[in-house]
Chains A and B, each alone.
Chain A
Amino acid sequence: MPKILIPTPLRQFVDKQDAVTVAGATVGELLQALTNQHADLRKHLYNDEGKLRSFVNVYLNDEDIRYLDKDATAVKDSDTISIVPSIAGGR
């Protein structure tokens, strides 16, 4: 099954795991399965209209899904999905 890498700020919503494996044929299905398992995560990934939030990017391997087929992007078992939220620390 494809692996979803969870960034540090969001690990608190997935029982502190750094990666989660879920079943699905598209990026949208995988994220749906992920947020079904971890309901608290949903509002951090999606806005009220169900759109991916603009400070969270999702990558299929090294490509931003905004430049693929977005939620409909097909996923193979060997693929890695990365959720990369905006961070601002520097001091």
Chain B
Amino acid sequence: MAATIAPPGLSLTNEEINRYSRHLILPEVGMEGQIQLKASKVLCIGTGGLGAPIGMYLAAAGVGTIGLVDFDVVDRTNLQRQIIHGTKDIGRKKLDSAADTMLDINPNVNIVKYEAALTSENALDIVRQYDVVVDGTDNFPTRYLVNDACVLTGKPNVYGSIFRFEGQASVFATKDGPCYRCLYPEPPPPGLVPSCAEGGVLGILPGLIGVIQATEVVKLLLGKGETLAGRLVLYDALNMKFREMRLRKSPECPICGPNRTITALIDYHQFCGVPRETAEPATVQGDIDPTEVKALLDKHHHFTLIDVREPHEHQICRIPAARLIPLGDLPKRLAELDRSAEYIMHCKSGVRSAKACDLLKMNGFQKVRNMKGGILAWADKVDPSVPKY
């Protein structure tokens, strides 16, 4: 069983007995199970799309201690899916907003806030204090860090991941079960797989995957049922299909296999090839500020502004002078462009247009620049009437 053994003498108050009555009359939970939940400690990493339903349901279920790790602030674009936060919380720390919602649902829960990013330096000390860890993060470095910290401390890692209309869920690092590295030994190179911010996500999707994770947490704590250890659930919301793949403990796994080579936490940013996040991204050669682009347009300077976003994004907002060529179509449409002409590329925030610049330069284009910060920066600096999405 994953949970700490409930200390003898721990009991439920009359308020709790009343609150948990629908659990108490389930033979699989009962008084013993509910006290077990009260004695348990769960660490929830991230209080975003996945973390929202996880935090709310675990609080409602009466998990005694819930640790929350997050350092983000509530933003309006979060509210389409992060239902633990509300419109009134915009600008507040997600930790405070999430804790308020959870304590409103169940004031008996003890919430421990960690206002920090999980790092190789702090992860083991934090993870060690909990019975089960739930991974609600949104990036590869943290996912490998959570996995490794769980394997090294022997804590089950309840995994969920989402992209557009698809989700994955499993339970890793149980006593004899596989871990995340058994499933995927290495992450994709940065930029190959778009994030939800770049690729979009159905707001309800993290709700469903997060609820699967919360279910698995409660089962692990109660020691009941059959968990997802050794199985990978794949969910396709668009076609409403659930599939299940067999997941094996890899004999070659570098952290949980018989010939393990990883015995301590490593540098996960380096492992994933991701530069550490800095507050202000450095200006790279070839970047141009939106205000300068505006000045060039006003001067009728001869150049072409190319929008490399998708047509459905172009419908949301656009710069009138820009010509739409989605990044994915660019390789096939190079013949429409002139290698000696001047181009400025833009997208939503500057990531895809940087790739477009690289593509053009590799194909012999000389005068190519990237509009820094994309149309979001254009809305901030040039034209506030442009909606931000």
Contacts and interface: CB of A to CB of B under 8 A. Distances in A.
Interface string B111-127: 00000000000000000
A57 B183 contact: yes
B163 A89 contact: yes
B328 interface: yes
A86 B82 CA distance: 23
A7 interface: yes
A75 B26 CA distance: 45
Nearest to A67: B248
Nearest to A40: B331
Contacts of B72: 91
A10 to B, nearest CB: 10
Given A82-B245, A86-B193, A89-B195, A53 B137 contact: no
B138 interface: yes
Interface stretch (B14-22, B29-37, B45-53, B357-365): B45-53
Contacts of A89: 49, 138, 161-163, 195-196, 199, 201
A53 B188 contact: yes
Contacts of A63: 245-246
Contacts of B247: 64
Interface residues of B, number: 49
Interface string B239-282: 10001111110100000000000000000000000000000000
Most buried by A among B72, B138, B195, B245: B245
Contact of A90 (B78, B161, B187): B161
Nearest to B45: A90
A87 B161 contact: yes
A53 B196 CA distance: 22
Interface string B152-178: 000000001111111010000000000
Given A88-B143, A90-B136, A91-B49, A54 B185 contact: yes
B187 to A, nearest CB: 6
A86 B143 CA distance: 11
B311 interface: no
B135 interface: yes
A88 B193 contact: yes
Given A8-B166, A9-B194, A90 B243 contact: no
A9 B187 contact: no
B246 A88 contact: no
A12 interface: yes
Given A55-B186, A62-B246, A87-B193, A9 B163 contact: yes
Interface in A71-91: 82, 84-91
B184 interface: yes
Given A82-B243, A90-B135, A91-B49, A57 B184 contact: yes
Contact of B138 (A40, A62, A91): A91
A90 B50 contact: yes
Given A55-B187, A84-B234, A91-B82, 12 more contacts: A8-B163, A9-B193, A9-B199, A55-B188, A64-B246, A66-B250, A86-B193, A88-B137, A90-B48, A90-B162, A91-B46, A91-B138
21 contacts: A7-B166, A8-B164, A9-B194, A18-B239, A54-B185, A55-B186, A55-B188, A62-B244, A62-B246, A63-B245, A63-B246, A64-B248, A66-B250, A67-B246, A87-B168, A88-B143, A88-B163, A90-B46, A90-B135, A90-B162, A91-B50
Please give me the 8 A-B residue pairs with the lowest Cβ-Cβ distance, nearest first.
Answer: A91-B48, A91-B138, A89-B196, A54-B186, A87-B163, A90-B138, A55-B188, A54-B185
